[in-house]
Structure 1
Amino acid sequence: MSIQNLSRAIAENTSSDAFALTLNVQQWETLVGYLQPIETSVGDVLIEQGTPDRSVFFIESGAISVHRVSSKEVMKLAVLPPGSVVGEGSFFSRQPHPANVVVTGAGRVWRLNAIRFAELSNRQPNMALEVAMALGAVLAKRMAHRSKRVAVT
């Protein structure tokens, strides 16, 4: 499966917390071997609040909503466009996800789980470092913005 659309979505994302991963064509073709493409439908839950999964999802197309559920309310935290990433907080912290991530517009995401990232780290350490640094930059940008801080997933 081609990763061209994902690389284009990432390159075209101009949001303040954009996932700025810059790879050449050969590197993207290598990275695709570590990712799982997922066709999404409206209502699909990518991340469930309270779960310990360390997967990161790269949004190729569609729309994603991040919201937190409490005993009193459901609070919408963010709507993420193509080229964005979710799951970065738990990827680094190894803590349960603080919010739900739900598909609000059908499309495709690419999943990188912790096991596949460890394999990437062993086989392609420079590329794994680039991915980790780009994820860390998203986390730092979201934490620096008070309104986006709550949307760290």
Structure 2
Amino acid sequence: MSYANAAPVRLDGLISAVTRNRSKDSVGPLLNRSCWDALAHHLEPRSVQPQEALINQGASDRSLYFVESGMLRIYRSDNNKRLQLAVLGPGAVVGEGTFFATIVRNASAEAVEPTFLWELSRDSFDEMLREAPTAACEISLALGAVISIRMLSVAGRLAIT
């Protein structure tokens, strides 16, 4: 996909959700309009239904997701037991751990209710890096801040997917 030729998607709902998200690990205050405009050329819409998995513990995919609406449960499985680590709602980001590192997912994410998200694959981000490097850098810094904040809590540390 070429940034110059791609038709951007409308991210008004996502931008509104991120702006309203007041959690400490929100990217809202860290991304400006030019970052969102650049992202609009590289995001793909995704929907998940209740109890449907978005991310599976042990998987090796590297996509990152921005939650526009709905709710996700983040949990770890061990010996057939689930330990809930977090519940993420509109404006949250999930999948940040494997986005930057070639490692397996350390937790799972499933929808609690119908959930609409925007997916940023690693390949799409690499395109964005070539086409809009300043915006890609700002997004990387915002995601780094999310990881740093989540690392400050035990549950957050475990929930980095």
- Output the TM-score relative to the length of structure 1: 0.93
Match 1:90 to one of 87, 98, 123: 98
Where does the alignment leave 5 or more consecutive residues of structure 2 unmatched?
Answer: 1-8
- Residues 15-49 of structure 1 show CA distances to partners (whole Å, capped at 9, x for unaligned) of 1221234221x542331110001122112211111
2:128 aligns to what?
120
Identity of matched residues, % = 35
Q: Would you say 1:29 and 2:33 are equivalent positions?
A: no
Displacement of 1:101: 0.6
Runs of 4+ deviating beyond 4 Å: none
- After TM superposition, the structure 1 = structure 2 runs for residues 51-70 of structure 1, keeping only pairs within 5 Å, are 51-70=59-78
2:4 aligns to what?
none
1:77 aligns to what?
85
What do you get for the CA RMSD once the two structures are aligned? Answer: 1.3
- Residues 78-124 of structure 1 show CA distances to partners (whole Å, capped at 9, x for unaligned) of 00011000110111222000011101111310000010000000000
Give the Cα separation in 2 of the matches to 1:65 and 1:5.
21
Displacement of 1:6: 0.3
- After TM superposition, the structure 1 = structure 2 runs for residues 10-29 of structure 1, keeping only pairs within 5 Å, are 10-20=18-28, 21-24=30-33, 27-29=35-37
Shift in CA distance, 31/6, structure 1 to aligned 2, threshold 3 Å: same
Give the Cα separation in 2 of the matches to 1:45 and 1:118.
25
Displacement of 1:72: 4.4
Where does the alignment leave 5 or more consecutive residues of structure 1 unmatched?
Answer: none
1:105 aligns to what?
113
Give the Cα separation in 2 of the matches to 1:103 and 1:72.
19
- Output the TM-score relative to the length of structure 2: 0.89
Question: 1:94 aligns to what SS in structure 2?
Answer: coil
- Give the number of aligned pairs: 152
Range moving further from structure 2, 79-88 or 13-22? 13-22
1:50 aligns to what?
58
Give yes or no for contact 2:35–2:138 (8 Å, CA) kept in 1.
no
Displacement of 1:146: 2.4
Question: 1:34 aligns to what SS in structure 2?
Answer: coil
